[in-house]
């Protein structure tokens, strides 16, 4: 069940009404049943997978907490819970990729290895709820969060439907206590939640889906692309993936907010970042902080010297690439961002010294703009690796980017025509993006805080903006449904 589907438009209002009509004691059970129904709408059989992962991590947490003094038993439970979760994730997401890669390597040495891939369905959201169960068990072992003895509340923490499929990846200390609270119907929560959901649907239906056809036309036929069409498609993919993923997050946070539950912020205007480090502090924040707490710091963080710190940073981005998908393109994407961060950290003190010696103000507006453009270009270039359908097509695309250009007078117009980008479409995309930027500036909340200079915008402007958003969403939804073109969110595949 996608958020951008007719089924969800029926499902969520029913859940919302039941949540406030039912007594507090019955709400968690209703939410748990609704969450499992939501998950089973993709594939009913896969419910046993999330249930099994939940049961194992729940009992592991109970035993670790009860027998904390018995270090060997506690560590054994931790290893079993973590190992089981990672083994399930590996089998469903990476087994075929690893087996294919091993066979290819063996064939390089003349082994003549071949095998038939196992036909498995990748369970939606498996990477997200697996990381939530891992953080819970690890935090119990570290004694940094309280064990949840009520299985129902813990199962709801793992499966809470708004953020089940694509995050944000919640921490137990934030979500579980909120699931226990007796939330009252609150007008501000409803207004804030609806506003976030509207912005999320606008990002997905109007912006992301509005550019997807152009992006697909270039990336699904790399042989027919040229350097200019690839640049245009990559910039639009940068817009698409932000609109798609942050749109899902907005809808998820908005749904939860309407029930009085506050999920963590996952995006904070990432394309305004001035460095790659800052970008990852603004993009997919729940994943970045997860890797920081459960991989980077355990590896030693920055406590073991500069060289080890840079290695740890690179490892984190390599693992992040692997987390995103079982393909060499994702691994290369992660390694590229790791290389960005390493080079950035190495050059940072030299740049600061350069500014100081020449009395250059690093907060100069021109320098800020330059750094933002530079960071966007680096991020967009890396998106080519992320979006390419295979490594073979990736090399074709990179070759086109650096060689396939022309000085012919009609090169620009012909390229735009070949990818279906007319001036009306350009205007529609530009208006949509500008509208989104303006919406974020005039509508304050704790997920997208308003800019300081726009804190006192009139309520009338906000209302008019929301009316425009709703009309644009309705028109986009009608057009998509009439053409049977509703699409899944990009991060559902992870």
CA nearest neighbour of 63 among 52, 74, 72: 74
Distance CA 191, CA 198 (A): 10
Q: Which residues contact 198 (CB under 8 A, 6 or more apart)?
A: 254, 466, 469, 470, 473
Distance CA 24, CA 18 (A): 11
* Torsion from C-alpha of 406, 411, 214, 267, nearest 10 degrees: 60
DSSP string, 32-88: HHHHHHHHHTT-GGGHHHHHHHHHHHHHHHHHHHHTTT-HHHHHHHHHHHHHHHHHH
Cβ(158)–Cβ(53) below 8 Å: yes
Helices and strands in the chain, H and E counts:
21, 0
For Cα atoms 235, 237, 241, give the angle at the middle one, nearest 5 degrees. Answer: 130
Q: Tally the residues of the chain.
A: 494
Cβ(344)–Cβ(275) below 8 Å: yes
Phi-psi group of 121: left, alpha or beta (phi > 0 → left; psi -120 to 50 → alpha; rest → beta)? beta
CA nearest neighbour of 275 among 211, 203, 337: 337
- Catalytic option among 183, 324, 337, 350: 324
Cβ(154)–Cβ(148) below 8 Å: yes
Whether 324 is a known active-site residue: answer yes
Please list the active-site residues. 324
């Amino acid at each position: 069940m996608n958020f951008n589907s007719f089924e969800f438009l029926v499902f969520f209002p029913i859940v919302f009404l039941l949540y406030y009509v039912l007594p507090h004691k019955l709400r968690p059970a209703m939410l748990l049943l609704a969450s499992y129904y939501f998950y089973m709408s993709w594939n009913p059989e896969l419910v046993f997978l999330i249930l099994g992962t939940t049961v194992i991590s729940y009992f592991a947490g109970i035993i670790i907490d009860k027998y904390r003094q018995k270090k060997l038993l506690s560590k054994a439970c931790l290893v079993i819970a973590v190992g089981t979760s990672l083994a399930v994730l590996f089998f469903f997401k990476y087994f075929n990729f690893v087996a294919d890669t091993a066979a290819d390597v063996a064939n390089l040495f003349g082994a003549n290895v071949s095998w038939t891939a196992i036909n498995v369905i990748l369970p939606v959201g498996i990477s997200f709820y697996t990381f939530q169960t891992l953080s819970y068990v690890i935090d119990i072992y570290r004694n940094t969060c309280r064990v949840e003895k009520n299985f129902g509340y813990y199962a709801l923490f793992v499966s809470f439907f708004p953020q089940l499929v694509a995050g944000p990846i919640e921490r137990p200390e934030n979500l579980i206590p909120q699931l226990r609270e007796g939330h009252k119907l609150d007008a501000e929560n409803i207004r804030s939640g609806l506003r976030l959901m509207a912005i999320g649907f606008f990002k997905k239906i109007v912006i992301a889906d509005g550019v997807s056809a152009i992006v697909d036309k270039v990336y699904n036929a790399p042989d027919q692309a040229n350097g200019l069409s690839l640049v245009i498609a990559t910039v639009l993919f940068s817009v698409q993936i932000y609109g798609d993923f942050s749109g899902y997050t907005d809808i998820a946070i908005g749904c939860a907010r309407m029930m009085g539950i506050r999920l963590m912020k996952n995006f904070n205007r990432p394309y305004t970042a001035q460095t790659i480090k800052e970008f990852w502090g603004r993009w997919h924040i729940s994943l970045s902080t997860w890797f920081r707490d459960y991989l980077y710091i355990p590896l030693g963080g920055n406590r073991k010297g500069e060289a080890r710190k840079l290695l740890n940073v690179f490892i984190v981005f390599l693992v992040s690439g692997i987390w995103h998908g079982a393909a060499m393109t994702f691994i290369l994407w992660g390694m590229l961002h790791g290389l960005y961060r390493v080079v950035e950290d190495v050059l940072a003190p030299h740049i600061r010294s350069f500014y100081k010696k020449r009395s250059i103000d690093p907060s100069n507006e021109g320098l800020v703009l330059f750094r933002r453009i530079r960071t966007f270009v680096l991020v967009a270039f890396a998106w080519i690796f992320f979006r390419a359908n295979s490594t073979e097509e990736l090399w074709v695309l990179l070759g086109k980017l650096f060689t396939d250009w022309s000085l012919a007078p009609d090169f620009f117009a012909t390229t735009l025509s070949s990818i279906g980008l007319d001036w009306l479409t350009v205007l529609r995309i530009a208006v949509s993006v500008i509208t989104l930027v303006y919406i974020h500036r005039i509508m304050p909340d704790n997920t997208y805080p308003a800019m300081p200079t726009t804190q006192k915008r009139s309520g009338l402007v906000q209302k008019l903006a929301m009316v425009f958003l709703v009309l644009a969403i309705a028109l986009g939804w009608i057009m998509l449904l009439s053409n049977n073109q509703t699409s899944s969110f990009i991060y559902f595949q992870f």
